[in-house]
Amino acid sequence: MGFVWKFIVYWAEDFLEVVYKDALEIEFQQNSIPYEREKKYDLAYKGHKLNRTYFADFVIFDKILLEVKA
C-alpha cells in the first residue's frame, strides 16, 4: 500500500475526514483494492447484543479495518 504514504504526503492539509475518505476511495478503486466503505457491525458483549452499531470507515481485503482521522 505504498500509495497511502504518497496520499498522506500529497494531502498535508487540514480537511474534514470525509474529504480524505472520498480521496482514499478513489485510490482504492484506481489500485484495484477490494474495500467496503462505512461497513456496519452489530456489537455484542458476552453474548448480549448491545444497542450500539459500529461503522468502520473502510474494510480492506475483507479483513483490515481502516479508520480515517483528520
3-state per-residue secondary structure call for the chain? CHHHHHHHHHCCCCCCHHHHHHHHHHHHHHCCCCEEEEEEEEEEECCEEEEEEEEEEEEECCCEEECCCC
Rounded to 10°, the helix 2-10/17-30 angle is 140
* Mean pLDDT within 23-34: 92
Domain ranges for the chain = 2-66
pLDDT level of residue 19 (50, 70, 90 thresholds): confident
For the chain, what percent of residues have pLDDT higher than 70?
A: 83
Q: Does 40 have pLDDT greater than 80? A: yes
The whole model's pTM is what? 0.78
Please tell me which residue, 12 or 38, carries the higher pLDDT value. Answer: 38
What pairs with residue 54 in β-bridges?
A: 41
Q: What is the reported pLDDT for 70?
A: 75
